[in-house]
Chains A and B, each alone.
Chain A
Amino acid sequence: MDKLLAETLYYEMVRGRAFEYAAKEHYMQGDISGFLHLDIGQEALSVGAMKAFTKGDVFSTYREHIMALARGISPKAVMAELFGKEAGVSEGKGGSMHLFDPSHFFYGGDAIVGGHLPNAVGCAYARKFRGEEHGVMAVFGDGATNGGAFFESLNIAAAQKLPMLFLCENNEYAIGTKITRVAPFEKQAKKAEPYMPTVEVDGMDVLAVYEAVSEAQHYIQKGHGPIFVEAMTCRYEGHSMSDPNSYRSTQEMALCKARDPIERMKKVLLEQYGMDDDTIESLETKAQNEIDEAVRFAAEAAEPAPEALTAHVFTEGGNHALS
């Protein structure tokens, strides 16, 4: 991998984490409300996957801030959304869980677990139908692999040989329920094995995630059908800001943090790419400045007008393809 890309991956992870800490702080100050799901600890996965899958559609969940940023959506527009402002990527109507930006082929924010998987499959059908080659990636948690929508999606994507990349973020928990208490396997890729090739990757290693997703995208573009990538990862915070995270021991958390994706990549930059501490520090400062600016922007941005309440229930004037 060239140095610039390696540096970008690091930068995106650092910026992503800074974004999440800022979001956490402003949630506690009351500027952000509702459900806020932080992605701290899982940066390698979000960044590696988005940077590899630069073209093609991405369908994801409520834990999607860092993915949205790595996809190229501005931190200002994402932070403003969390603040419920008009300048937000969903104009303050969606909030943290619903970041959508079709101009970046990003349908980030579905908050019904597993609910976006059939949508991703349908989109893959449409892209194939129209001869568009990039394919579709669906990102989902371990918890989503226990629902009917998941199995229906595997089946249809495989039966129709659709260009679908299923990316499972296995952080071993669905809120407070450990996956092995409610599923017979530790690795959820087992569930996809009868349908498609499966790949396992260390979700705490951004380079590995990047490589795995790049290869998977090549695969789905060949027309043989879908592929399943499972990345083992770990979230550092509670499920959302309302979860005290009391079901994981200090020891479990320590093991998890010992695999920290940012520290790991920093080491790679220092040791393999010959970067010096100053350069790394300046990247970190730059990332932090960008987030500080996003927060300032979000704080000062305007509230949506009251008329926004009834806008967007339908298209303006009820557009009709034949008229």
Chain B
Amino acid sequence: MLYREALNKALDETMAADENIVVLGEDVGLYGGSYRVTEGLYAKYGEKRLIDTPIAELSIVGNAVGMAIGGLRPVAEIMTANFALLAFDQIINHMSKYHYMSAGKITLPMVVRFPQGVSKQLAAQHSESYEQMLSAVPGLKVLAASDVNYAYHALKHAVMSDDPFVFIEHELLYNKKGEVDVHTPIDPFKARIVKEGSDVTIVSYLKMVDDVMAALPKIEEALGCSCEVIDLCSLNPVDYDTLKTSIEKTSRLVMVEEDHKTGGYGAQIVSWAAEEMFYTLDAAPLRIAGADVPIPYNRTLELLSIPTPDSIAEQIIEWGRRNDV
């Protein structure tokens, strides 16, 4: 099954189970979604539950908040993360705060789906990642799906939960293939150990997990070591227990993210490690991230602006040699 099909299946099954679930966004209905995640749902559930909105992101999220107050379970789709900036007032001032401000009297069972990241030459206004901002907002649960099975289970969980979720997807993952095991439920807040290892803990999420895995043979061969690769999955809350157990085994941490390095999400993980794991670490952590520039259109420049399997391997090998890995 493809990643986008897994998301579709999660929506389909939850919508079949609960008629209060509605999906809203630009081109989500009749058109089937610009990444085809909602394909077929309009025909099945009709225009009352698959709501094609105008290009009005503030209202997409703002209406979803109101729908949740009014008794529905809305799933809002933002076409591309950059457009969600128009909805950040609603996400941050409304969606994340009503439950707290009302002392728990209002609950917002809602999800905002967020396709993001550097795709292929979509340039500066269509290539960004906002997990750093979103995960810094108390009152939002932020999940990031890199894996097909996780995408299915985690989206189902988010849709059925009474808390407000931001569900981050990477635009280059929609056609990723994977197995979905519908019979084995997962804990969406638990980090996933993608590969076990004993010498270096490499932490990542979203598409960078695949890029780390692609870089791994080269790294392990060059350094003669074994790496443990962890997919964070939940960016807030963070499963620090899994990280701690791994670092206690390996004594080394590498954090890989696609986003701009300054203020990037990985800074949180490394800062946690500095506070909590300082005496366990045998080397200063390595952070691999994108350049602090808007994303350029030209393909060569674009690839220079983000980590790639080659640059990940190169940086980890260089760091490993300096640190006696």
Is B52 engaged at the interface, CB distance under 8 Å to the other chain?
A: yes
Is A229 engaged at the interface, CB distance under 8 Å to the other chain?
A: no
- A146-B298 contact in complex given A33-B120, A98-B124, C-beta closer than 8 Å: no
- A309-B301 contact in complex given A147-B55, A177-B31, C-beta closer than 8 Å: yes
B83–A310 touching, CB < 8 Å: no
Alpha-carbon distance A90/B75, docked complex (angstroms): 38
A177–B56 touching, CB < 8 Å: no
Nearest CB of chain A from residue B320's CB, rounded to whole Å: 25
Is B293 engaged at the interface, CB distance under 8 Å to the other chain?
A: yes
- A303-B55 contact in complex given A35-B122, A177-B31, A310-B293, C-beta closer than 8 Å: no
Contacts of B304 in A (CB 8 A): 306, 309
- A94-B56 contact in complex given A33-B121, A34-B123, A111-B126, C-beta closer than 8 Å: no
A176–B297 touching, CB < 8 Å: no
Interface size of B as a range: 35 or more
Which residue in chain B gives the minimum CB-CB distance to A84?
A: B298
Nearest CB of chain A from residue B201's CB, rounded to whole Å: 30
B300–A310 touching, CB < 8 Å: no
A112–B300 touching, CB < 8 Å: no
Which residue in chain B gives the minimum CB-CB distance to A36?
A: B121
Is A122 engaged at the interface, CB distance under 8 Å to the other chain?
A: no
B54–A313 touching, CB < 8 Å: no
Mark interface residues in B254-282 (1 if CB within 8 Å of A CB, else 0).
Answer: 00000000000000000000000000000
Nearest CB of chain A from residue B237's CB, rounded to whole Å: 32
Partner of B55, one of A33, A34, A94, A144: A144
Which residue in chain A gives the minimum CB-CB distance to B58?
A: A148
Partner of B296, one of A93, A114, A148, A177: A93
Contacts of B297 in A (CB 8 A): 34, 84, 90, 92-96, 98
A92–B298 touching, CB < 8 Å: yes
Nearest CB of chain B from residue A75's CB, rounded to whole Å: 18
Alpha-carbon distance A98/B56, docked complex (angstroms): 22
Mark interface residues in B42-56 (1 if CB within 8 Å of A CB, else 0).
Answer: 000000000011111
- A148-B126 contact in complex given A93-B296, A304-B298, C-beta closer than 8 Å: no
Chain B contact residues: over half helix, strand or loop, or mixed?
loop
A303–B298 touching, CB < 8 Å: yes
B55–A247 touching, CB < 8 Å: no
A97–B58 touching, CB < 8 Å: no
Is A254 engaged at the interface, CB distance under 8 Å to the other chain?
A: no
B30–A306 touching, CB < 8 Å: no
Mark interface residues in B278-299 (1 if CB within 8 Å of A CB, else 0).
Answer: 0000000000000111101111
Is B175 engaged at the interface, CB distance under 8 Å to the other chain?
A: no
Contacts of A313 in B (CB 8 A): 292-294
Contacts of A43 in B (CB 8 A): none
Contacts of A143 in B (CB 8 A): 54-55
Alpha-carbon distance A306/B305, docked complex (angstroms): 10
Is A181 engaged at the interface, CB distance under 8 Å to the other chain?
A: yes
Mark interface residues in A167-206 (1 if CB within 8 Å of B CB, else 0).
Answer: 0000000111100011100000000000000000000000
A309–B54 touching, CB < 8 Å: no
Contact residues of A between 240 and 254, Cβ < 8 Å to B: 247
Nearest CB of chain A from residue B14's CB, rounded to whole Å: 24
Which residue in chain B gives the minimum CB-CB distance to A148?
A: B58
A33–B86 touching, CB < 8 Å: no
Contacts of A146 in B (CB 8 A): 54-56
Alpha-carbon distance A175/B58, docked complex (angstroms): 19
Contacts of A144 in B (CB 8 A): 55
- A97-B293 contact in complex given A182-B52, A304-B300, C-beta closer than 8 Å: no
A34–B120 touching, CB < 8 Å: yes
Alpha-carbon distance A33/B125, docked complex (angstroms): 15
Alpha-carbon distance A144/B294, docked complex (angstroms): 24
Is B39 engaged at the interface, CB distance under 8 Å to the other chain?
A: no
Alpha-carbon distance A143/B31, docked complex (angstroms): 15
User: Which B residues form the contact surface with A (CB < 8 A)?
Assistant: 26-27, 30-31, 34, 52-59, 82-83, 86, 120-126, 291-294, 296-301, 304-305
Give 14 pairs: A residue, B residue, CB < 8 Å, sorted on A.
Answer: A33-B120, A33-B121, A33-B299, A34-B122, A93-B296, A112-B86, A175-B26, A177-B30, A177-B54, A182-B53, A304-B298, A306-B300, A309-B296, A309-B304
Nearest 7 Cβ contacts at the A-B interface = A95-B297, A146-B54, A176-B31, A34-B121, A84-B298, A182-B54, A33-B121
Known: A92-B297, A95-B298, A111-B126. 10 other contacts (CB 8 A): A34-B122, A84-B121, A93-B298, A97-B125, A111-B125, A112-B82, A148-B56, A177-B26, A304-B298, A306-B301
